[in-house]
Amino acid sequence: MARQTTGRDTEAEIEIEAQRPASADELWSAVRVDPVEIALPKGVGYTLRAYRPVDEVRPTDVSEREEDVFPERRPEPVLSDEEETEFDDEDAGFDEDDETFDDDESDADEDESEDDEDEDTDEPEEVPVFLGRAGKLYLFHSAEGLVEFVRSDAEHDLTQLDTWPELVKRISAKDVVPLPEDTYELDLVVKNLRASHDVWDAGLIIQAGEIARDLGYALRLESIIDALSTGSPLDELDEAVRTIESGGISGFLARRRLKKIGTEAPPLGWRQIIGNISAAVDWRD
């Protein structure tokens, strides 16, 4: 569940880095926790997130969460304008200067990636843990509110971290400046996806997928996990825009595939995901 830095505006990155003192970088690096900013339809809030090996943290306790009385409510699948999103036979390759690029190249890359993953299986997977409790995400409208809560004796999922006492001792409001890769504009996703494919914001969609997957896992939100699971329609959308971002011939083929995805289902699926995230938020100030 590693994060990926996307192509956010360079000027914005410079401005954020200018606002964040070097002491803050040292603090977050030392405690291995990061401040996160999430924009939702109902507001913008700060929280904290850490990544730890799966065998070092316990999952949030959702035993008291009310069961969904409508378990069939899951984000709608993303359907293509046609009935499938696969290439037609003539789309399987692209000839340029008498050189042929086809799906065999992609298959080879996938095989190499799988081999690399197999080599890394000895290391336990790192999983996200957020500031929250009982399947709820705590969001704070202000840095001051977050710091006040952190310094309190309230129970939450981050108290299990071995670095938590150090963070409580050292944190101040000036440290709560999330980096661009830890800033998520979920309030813009649905509007962007309602536009034509040509103006879909790859960076916005990629980052939305990253935070949604993290929250789905950390808060144990099965509907989000299902909607973004490997091979799901929204996951294929995510993979397509990632490939386009990387450019090259693979990006060219991904762009052609993306055009086969309808413009109605993606915003509907993401609207439900964002609705589920919003329902799991506990605004604390």
pLDDT digits (tens, 9 = 90+) for 56-86: 999 999 988 766 534 444 444 444 444 333 3
Distance CA 112, CA 29 (A): 32
pLDDT the model gives residue 133: 97
Distance CA 248, CA 109 (A): 14
The stretch 15-32 carries a mean pLDDT of: 87
Extended beta strands in the chain, E state: 34-40, 43-53, 94-96, 99-101, 126-130, 132-133, 136-139, 183-185, 281-283
pLDDT the model gives residue 74: 46
The stretch 109-119 carries a mean pLDDT of: 55
pLDDT the model gives residue 19: 80
Distance CA 35, CA 183 (A): 9
pLDDT the model gives residue 115: 56
- Residue owning tokens 């192509």: 7
Rounded mean pLDDT of the chain?
80
Percent of the chain with pLDDT over 90: 55
- Model pLDDT for residues 228-237, shown as the tens digit of each residue: 998 888 998 8
pLDDT above 90 for 273: yes
pLDDT the model gives residue 64: 82
pLDDT the model gives residue 27: 98
Q: Which of 81-95, 96-110, 116-130, 182-196 has the highest mean pLDDT?
A: 182-196
Percent of the chain with pLDDT over 70: 69
Amino acid at 65: R
- Model pLDDT for residues 136-183, shown as the tens digit of each residue: 999 999 999 999 999 999 999 999 999 999 999 999 999 999 999 999
User: Pick from 110, 111, 112, 106: which is nearest to 91 by CA?
Assistant: 106
DSSP string over 16-40: HHHHS-HHHHHHHHHHT-EEEEEEE
Distance CA 234, CA 211 (A): 14
Higher pLDDT, 188 or 253: 188
